[in-house]
A and B are shown apart, each in its own frame.
With several copies, the nearest count.
Chain A
Amino acid sequence: MSVQSAAGAYETAMQRDRAETIFMKGAPGRRAFVAPAIDVPVRPLDDLIPARLRRGREPRLPEVSEPELVRHYVNLSRRNFDLDSGFYPLGSCTMKHNPRLHERVAGLPGHARLHPFQEPARAQGALELMWNLERALSEIAGLPHVSLQPSAGSHGELAGVLLTRAYHDARGEQRTKVLTPDTAHGTNPATVTMAGYEVVKVGTNADGGVDIDDLRAKADTDVACLMLTNPSTLGLFDENIAEIAKIVHDVGATLYYDGANLNAVMGKSRPGDMGFDIVHFNLHKTFTQPHGGGGPGSGPIAVSDRVEPFLPHPVIVRTEPAETNGAGSGQAVFDLDHDRPQSIGRLRGFQGNYGCFVRSYAYICSLGAAGLRDVSEVAVLNANYLLAKLGKLGVLDLLTPAYGRVPQVGDGEQQNHSHHGADDADARRQWGCMHEFVLSGAPMKRELKIRTLDLAKRLLDHGVHPPTVYFPLVVEEALLIEPTETETRETLDRFAESIAEILREAREDPEIARGAPYTTPVRRLDEAAAARRPVLRESL
C-alpha cells in the first residue's frame, strides 16, 4: 500500500486530537490564579473610579484550572518541531544550538528582575555587561561604536537608514534613494520605504555578486546608502567588496552591512575592514539567542566615527577608576548618557532587549576569540561538506547550485590545488559556498514534476525541518540551506540521504511528495483559504 493511502486510512495520535483552543476549554468559575487577600481597607469602587470610566463588559478570558492550563500548553508545544529535536537548516536564520547556560544566567534575579528605571548606580552589573558586549561586538565588526538598542535585525536596519539620513541631513544634503541588490532580504527594501527613501534595485552578476556596472550606473549623489549582506543571501562572499565600497563612498553614500550572515566570517574578516559604515547584528542568529518561535531577537548596530554622533540614546559611558571621584573602590563606573544633541532619538523604550544581551554575552564569554573563529570555520566547513555530499549522491543535477561554481585548476587562485592531498580528479570540488548555499529546484520541477514546496513538505516526514524555500527571489524554486556549525557530520549525511531518497521516491511516484506531509500533527494546510476568508480569532 502506498504511504498516502495508509496515511489516509490511519491517523496518528496527534492527528486524531483536533485543534481546540484554550477558549473552548474550562468552565465558568474555574481559575488557576488565586489573588492575594485585599489587606487594605476596601472602599467602594465608585468612590475611586467613576463608573463611566470603568469597564462595561469584562473580557471573556478562559476560565481554567492550573492543571488544565498546563496540559493545554504542554500538549500544544508537542505540535511544534524544534531545534532541540532535530535538524533545522533554515537558510539565513542560523539555527544553531541554544545552550541552556544562557537561559540560566538570564534568569538570575539580578538580571531578570532588574527594573529598567533602576538608578544606574544600582544597575552597575547590567551596564558593565552591556559595555563589555558593545566592546566585543565592536571588535567583531571592526567598527568603533555600538548601540544595543534595536529590537531585531530589521529594527537595526531602520536605525541604520535613519542614521544615514541624519548623517546626510547634518551635511545639508537631501538624498532620496537607497540601493539594495535584488538578492536582498525583504526587510531591506521594506526598511528603506519606512525611512522615507526610494528603493533602487541593483542587479546580480554571473558569480552571484553585485553587478558592478549596474551599481556604477545607479550610484549617484541622490543615493544615500547601499545595503548589502556579505556573504550575500546566496551564501557567497562578494570578492569585489572593496571596489563596491569605493564606488559607494565616492558618491558620498554610506555602506550598510546586513549582519544576518555574520556567522560565516567571525574572526575571519570584518565588515568595518571591508569598508562598511554601519552594521547590524542579529544576536538571535549569530549569537544564539533562542528564536522563540519568532522572537525575541536583538539587533545591535556598530558604526564608524562619522556616524557615531547620531546614534540612538542613551549611550553607555564608562568612567575609568582614576577619574571616578570616590564613586567606587577603584572600580570603573558606568552610566547612561542621554545628552546626545545630534542623536536620532529613541527607537523604542529603555535600553534594548537586555535579556538577549545577557545570553549573547555569555556565549561570547564561553567561546572566546578562538571559539568564535571556530564557529565560522565549522559553519563554512559544514555547508561545503553538505554541498559536496549532495553532489556525491548525485542530487545536484536535479537541485542545481545557484552560482558558486569554483574556478578549476588553471584559472589561477587554485594552483595549490595541484598539490592536493588525496589527489583524485573527481575529489576536486566543483561548487563552493560560505556558511550556506542555494539550490534551484527548477530541473527537479521539470523532470520529476515536484516543486521545491513538495520536497520541503516531504522532508517533514523525514523528521527534519526544511531549508528556507523560494528565497532568494533571484533563484527559481530556491532552497537556501544553512546547516550551522553545531550539527554533526552524521546529521548532515542523514539529511543528504533524505533528499536523495525523496528524489528517488518522486521519480517512481511524484504523488507521494505532492501529498506530503503525512506524519505531521496536521497534513498540508490550505494557506490560500486562510487568506481568502480570514479567521483571525476564536469566536466566543
Chain B
Amino acid sequence: MSGYTAVTEADLDAMLATIGVDSIDELFSSIPAGLRLGRELDLPDGLSESEVYAHLRDLAGKNVSAEDEVCFLGAGMYDHYVPAMIDMLLGRSEFLTPYTPYQPEVSQGGLQVMFEFQTAICELTGLDVSNASVYEGPSALAAAGYLAKLTNKRGRFVISHGVHPHAREALRTLSAGYGMAVDEVPLLDGVTDADAWAAAIDDTVSAVFVGQPNFLGAIEDVAALSAVARDHGALVVCSADPLSLGILEAPGEQGVDVCVGEGQSLGNRLDFGGPSFGFFAARSEHVRRMPGRIAGETVDADGRRGFVLTLQTREQHIRREKATSNICTAQALNALAGVVYLCWLGRRGLVELGELMVQRTAYARDLLGDVDGVEPIHSQPVVREFAVSLDVGGLDGVLRVLDRCAAEGLNPGYPLGRTYPEYGSGLLVAITEQRSRADIDRLAVVLGRAVAAERSERAAVGASA
C-alpha cells in the first residue's frame, strides 16, 4: 500500500462488512468478466519517495536548462526571473489544491485573484473585459477566431505570417472543424506587408490576426493594420507579448477587438513549454461570447463585497452544445503567478523592465551586427528580440553552430529555419533582464567563433570537393 491511501486490514474488514460484500472484487462485479484485466498492468514496481526523486533528478540532469547555460532562446517563451515570492504563493495549499470555485463562499481567495487578474489584463491591453485565463498563447488565438466566427458567421480568416507559427497552426487545426479558410499575408522587411494585407481583406473576412511584436521581434503598425480590417467589418485580433506592453501602445488603443497572448513571461517558468496561461481580453460588446471563466463582483447575504463566477450562460456546463467554448479546466494557478508578477513589477517596474530590455536588445543587435558572417534579417524597431542571418548555408549549418555554442555553455537563440524556410539561416535572439551586458558580450564572441569555425569548415569541405 502506498503512503497515499489509508485502508488498513482492520479498515478493510469493517468497510466490507458495512457495505455487505465479501471482497473488493465483488464491488467490480458490474464489469463483465471478459472486460476485466486478468493481470497486473505491465508497469514497473512502485518506488519510495527518495528513489523517485533520484530518478527524476537524473532525468532533469539529461537536460540543458537555462540554469545550466547562458540562454538567448525566446521565440514565444522567455527566460525571465520568477520572483521567489511567487513560488511561495503558488505552493500554498490554499491556492495549489482547490479546484474551480464552484462554491464561492469558500473560494473568495481564488475568485478575487481572478478579478484582480482580469483588471490587470484590461490595464495591460487597454481593453474592456478579460477572462480569467485560457490554456496558453496559440490556442488563445484560435479561441479568438471562434469568437469571431460566432460573431459574424463569416468563413475566412486572414493571418499575418509574422504571427507565431504555433498559433497560425493551432488556428488552422482548431478552425478546420467548423470549416474556415485561413489565408496568410507575407512579411516585408520583417513586418506584415501592408499592400498584401489590404489585398487579402474583403467583406468575407471574419477576423484578421497580427502578432505584436511579431515572431521576428519586429514591432507591427497595429493601428494601420486594424484600420483596413475594420473597414471591412472584420474583427481584429492581436496576439501580444505582455511584457512588451509596458513600452508598446495598448492594442485597445489601436482598434483591436480581441487581444490574446502567451502569459508565460509573466512569472511563469519555462517548464519546457507549459503549463503557462493564455490571456484573452476584448471590447465589452464581445463579453457574452468570450470563452472561459470570468469572475464578477457581487454581495453576500449581509451585504459584504464578494466575488463569483459569472456570465456562466456562455459556458459548457450550462449551455452545453450552445456554449461559446468547451473550455473547463483552465490555468488558474498560472494566472495567479501572472497577476502577482505584474503587481511585483508594479506600475513603474513594468516600464523599467521594458526599457532595460529595449536598451540591452539594441546593444546586442548592434554588437552582433558587427560580427563576421552575421547579418540583420530586418531593420524594424524591436523590443526584446531580433532576427539575424548566419552565413553558414542554411538550417543544418545553423544547427551545427548551435552545437558549437552549446559546447561553450551558451545558447545563442532559435534557428528560424525550423519554421521559416525563407530564413533558413536565420537566428532569433531574445534578451531578458537575466542576460547581462557581460552575457551579451560573450554571445558575440562565442557566436562569432562558432560561425567562423563553421564557415572555415565548409570552405575546407568545399575546397576538398
Contact = CB atoms under 8 A, between A and B. Distances in A.
Contacts of B308: 525, 527, 530
B427 to A, nearest CB: 12
Interface stretch (A211-219, A375-383, A438-446): A375-383
Given A358-B56, A366-B47, A534-B296, A100 B88 contact: yes
A173 B45 CA distance: 45
Contacts of B98: 80-83, 88, 291, 293, 465
Contact of A119 (B10, B93, B274, B399): B399
Contacts of B16: 381, 421
B347 A290 contact: no
Contacts of B119: 21, 23, 537-538, 540
Contacts of B75: 117
Contact of A366 (B26, B29, B52, B339): B52
B326 A27 contact: no
Contacts of A354: 271-274
A205 to B, nearest CB: 14
Interface residues of B, number: 218
Given A100-B88, A186-B316, A356 B348 contact: no
B326 A191 contact: yes
Given A34-B46, A55-B245, A538-B119, A349 B136 contact: yes
B67 A113 contact: yes
A447 B166 CA distance: 57
Interface string B1-36: 111111111111011111111101011111110111
A398 interface: no
Contacts, number: 799
A193 interface: yes
Contact of B359 (A43, A345, A364): A43
B343 A380 contact: no
Contacts of A187: 316-317, 326, 328
Given A105-B53, A355-B269, A487-B6, A349 B164 contact: yes
Contacts of B456: none
B330 A295 contact: yes
Interface stretch (B57-65, B153-161, B226-234, B443-451): B57-65
Contact of A295 (B29, B253, B332): B332
Interface stretch (B123-131, B192-200, B368-376): B123-131
Interface in A5-20: 8, 15, 18-19
Interface string A271-308: 00110000000101000001111111110000000000
A143 interface: no
Given A32-B346, A83-B97, A294-B330, A155 B139 contact: yes
Contact of A353 (B65, B275, B363): B275
B166 to A, nearest CB: 4
Contacts of A434: 27, 30
Interface in A325-369: 344-356, 358, 361-362, 364-369
Nearest to B169: A346
Nearest to A345: B173
A55 B248 contact: yes
B181 interface: no
Contact of B273 (A82, A108, A345, A351): A351
A420 interface: yes
A85 B46 contact: no
A129 B59 CA distance: 7
A19 B306 contact: yes
A124 B61 CA distance: 9
B454 interface: no
Contact of A529 (B40, B79, B298): B298
B275 A356 contact: yes
Given A49-B219, A59-B246, A531-B296, A115 B108 contact: no
Contact of A242 (B35, B58, B333, B339): B35
A346 B141 CA distance: 13
Contacts of A69: 85, 340, 343-344
Nearest to B21: A429
A321 interface: no
A66 B306 contact: no
Contacts of B253: 56
A186 B135 contact: no
A347 to B, nearest CB: 6
B89 A77 contact: yes
Contact of A373 (B21, B40, B330): B40
Interface stretch (B201-209, B350-358, B457-465): B350-358
A365 B32 contact: no
A128 B331 CA distance: 26
A207 B220 CA distance: 60
A99 B84 contact: yes
Contacts of B343: 22, 32, 61-62, 64, 69
A394 B45 CA distance: 42
Contacts of B138: 346, 348-349
Given A39-B437, A293-B100, A525-B298, A460 B106 contact: yes
Contact of A31 (B46, B89, B348): B348
B262 interface: yes
B271 A28 contact: no
Contacts of B92: 74, 77
A350 to B, nearest CB: 3
Report which residue of A73, A239, A349 has the largest number of chain B beta carbons within 10 angstroms of its beta carbon: A349
B169 A345 contact: yes
A536 B294 contact: yes
Contacts of A388: 18-20
B367 to A, nearest CB: 9
A234 to B, nearest CB: 12
B176 interface: yes
A385 B275 CA distance: 36
Contact of A110 (B50, B63, B331): B63
B97 A536 contact: no
A498 interface: no
Given A58-B246, A81-B103, A294-B100, A76 B109 contact: yes
A189 interface: yes
B65 A115 contact: yes
A65 B6 contact: yes
Interface string B266-310: 000111111101000000000100000111111111101111111
A540 B167 CA distance: 33
Contact of B356 (A29, A35, A241, A525): A35
B273 A485 contact: no
A292 B95 contact: yes
B387 interface: no
Given A58-B246, A105-B53, 8 more contacts: A53-B249, A70-B93, A73-B340, A110-B61, A126-B63, A369-B43, A370-B40, A530-B308
9 contacts: A99-B84, A125-B62, A269-B28, A273-B35, A273-B37, A346-B173, A369-B43, A392-B18, A419-B22
The 5 A-B residue pairs whose C-beta atoms are closest, nearest first, are A110-B60, A350-B273, A292-B333, A125-B62, A116-B273
